[in-house]
Amino acid sequence: MNISKEQIDELNAVVKVAITKEDYQDRVDGILKDYRKSANIPGFRKGHVPMGLIKKQYGKAVLVDEVNKLLQDNLNKYLTEEKLDVLGNPLPKQQDNFDWDKDEFDFEFEIGLAPDFQVELETKNPITQYKIVADKKMVDEQVERIQKQYGKLVSKEEVAKDFEVTGTFKNEEEEIDKKTTLELDKIKSKKALDALIGSKVGDTVKLKSKGLFKEDYLTSSAFGVSQDKAEGLDIEAEFTVEEINERELAALDQELFDKLFGKDEVTTEKELKEKIKEDSEKQFEQQSDQKLLNDITEHFIENTKFELPAGFLTKWIQMTGEEQLSEEQANEEYEKSEKGLRYQLIEGKIIKENDLQIQLEELKEFAKGFIKSQMAQFGQLNPQEEELENIANRVLSNQDEVKRLSEQLMSQKLLDLYKEKVNLKEKEITYDDFVKEVYG
């Protein structure tokens, strides 16, 4: 067998494979002998079918199968040994005069080659790294939410400002009959507030769904409709008052502090606010880091210039999908995927040049950290190491989870590298201003 490469240009080449009879004949003969031993053909005893008949019946199919196996194995081996960095997979070139009745076969494969390029980590212009801070307003609002959550409901006879009113919405036309609790501090409509304040148990008021709440997502649960339907819901519904409560705020005392953080971890209101600020800003770091990662990714894509074997890749997309695409469809798919492919190549080069690797023990520790944070959300703040170890082992026995966690860990390694090497400019900002600036 002879394999050679013809370079078309820097990004395209043709690999030629010549297979002779000596390369495949022993393999074909061995399989046909096995067929002869087990073949059941009428008129012949098992194992005594003439070899000529076996060859006539099975010879061509076995030949094609074995040559294709040889071809695939040796082509892959050649690409590896020659250290050819190919994109996609080799595409066989059409040969109109190909003849399986010959003893020798010549095959040609088109290959697309990865471009050679450099990635400059030290950016010329600084990239903004947001430091999101929890301001006094946010901390105070969070303290009040905690006080409401751990406070108690006190029954009242008449609705007043900021009370909670339980009742039933009804609208025959939309088939709405939904019991719900309205928190008056979440009501946006002044007309609705005027109708509710002063009402008593048994009273019925008419409320319009459109613009009722400060947050639109509340419409769905309040009226018992899907989120899609809630977005366009514009009706008037009757609301019958069934229960009126005032939520008495919990006292900021040691009993509440211990419920929130464990015994004597927090002992004063000042420490409570400091803890809330610290925890909030820690959560904001994830959003800030994701924004930074996205911005650096976009920077590299825009500023790392190289050509791709676009013609080859378009043809590869056209030929290798579940259904063959038209040339126009393949061009559209290539345009959609080009940006992602560019970053895959850039990221791969950064990982290789900076020797970023993931070790099994490192992945296990990362998994434990993820599991620990999940458990904390359900109040399990101090899990035993043995328990974490067992859960991590179960998680890492699932290959899909291994892939997912490995990608997350590699993203973290890349982010750490960028924070060290990339030219960054820190910008301190409140969460509200961050949302406005980043998401509009």
Is residue 121 in a domain? Answer: no
Strand partners, 249: none
Residue at a domain's end among 98, 113, 128: 113
User: Residues 273, 241: one domain?
Assistant: no
User: Residues 275, 244: one domain?
Assistant: no
Is residue 262 in a domain? Answer: no
User: Residues 182, 50: one domain?
Assistant: no
Specify whether the CB–CB gap between 250 and 216 falls below 8 A.
Answer: no
Structurally, the chain folds into a number of domains equal to: 3
CATH number of the domain where residue 43 is located: 3.30.70.1050
Phi-psi region of 165 (alpha: psi -120 to 50; beta: other; left: phi over 0): beta
Query: At CA 293, angle to CA 430 and CA 114, rounded to 5?
Result: 165
Is residue 278 in a domain? Answer: yes
User: Residues 11, 65: one domain?
Assistant: yes
Is residue 283 in a domain? Answer: yes
User: Residues 280, 373: one domain?
Assistant: yes
Is residue 419 in a domain? Answer: yes
Is residue 138 in a domain? Answer: no
Residue at a domain's end among 63, 96, 113: 113
User: Residues 233, 280: one domain?
Assistant: no
Phi-psi region of 198 (alpha: psi -120 to 50; beta: other; left: phi over 0): left
Specify whether the CB–CB gap between 123 and 301 falls below 8 A.
Answer: no
User: Residues 311, 415: one domain?
Assistant: yes
User: Residues 84, 216: one domain?
Assistant: no
Distances, alpha carbon 354 to alpha carbons 87, 330, 349, 417, in Å: 22, 35, 8, 9
Cα separation, 149 vs 145, in Å, equals 6
- What is the chain's percent helix, strand, coil content, to nearest 5? 50, 20, 30
**Greatest alpha-carbon span in the chain:** 103
* Domain membership of residue 175 as a residue range: 152-248
Distances, alpha carbon 80 to alpha carbons 73, 76, 89, 103, in Å: 11, 6, 13, 28
φ, ψ for residue 3, nearest 5 deg: -125, 130
User: Residues 342, 314: one domain?
Assistant: yes
User: Residues 315, 189: one domain?
Assistant: no
User: Would you give per-residue pLDDT tens digits along the chain (440 residues)?
Assistant: 899 999 999 999 999 999 999 999 999 999 999 888 888 788 787 878 888 888 888 899 999 999 999 999 999 999 999 999 999 999 999 888 889 989 999 999 999 999 999 999 988 899 999 999 999 999 999 999 999 889 999 999 999 998 999 999 999 999 999 999 999 999 999 999 999 999 999 999 999 999 999 998 999 999 999 999 998 899 999 999 999 999 999 999 999 999 888 889 899 999 999 999 998 999 899 999 999 999 999 999 999 999 999 999 999 999 887 888 899 999 999 999 999 999 999 999 999 999 999 999 999 999 998 888 888 777 676 788 888 889 999 999 999 999 999 999 999 999 999 999 999 999 999 999 999 998 87
Residue at a domain's end among 113, 135, 165: 113
Report helix, strand or coil for 375: helix
Is residue 341 in a domain? Answer: yes
- Taking alpha carbons only, the member of 244, 263, 242, 246 closest to residue 151 is 246
Specify whether the CB–CB gap between 246 and 157 falls below 8 A.
Answer: no
Cα 45 to chain centroid distance, Å, stands at: 61
Distances, alpha carbon 302 to alpha carbons 130, 258, 342, in Å: 21, 51, 10
User: Residues 231, 368: one domain?
Assistant: no
Report helix, strand or coil for 267: coil
Is residue 346 in a domain? Answer: yes
Continuous H helices in 232-303: 254-261, 269-303
Q: Is the dihedral of CA 410, 120, 304, 124 positive or negative?
A: positive
User: Residues 38, 175: one domain?
Assistant: no
CATH number of the domain where residue 234 is located: 3.10.50.30
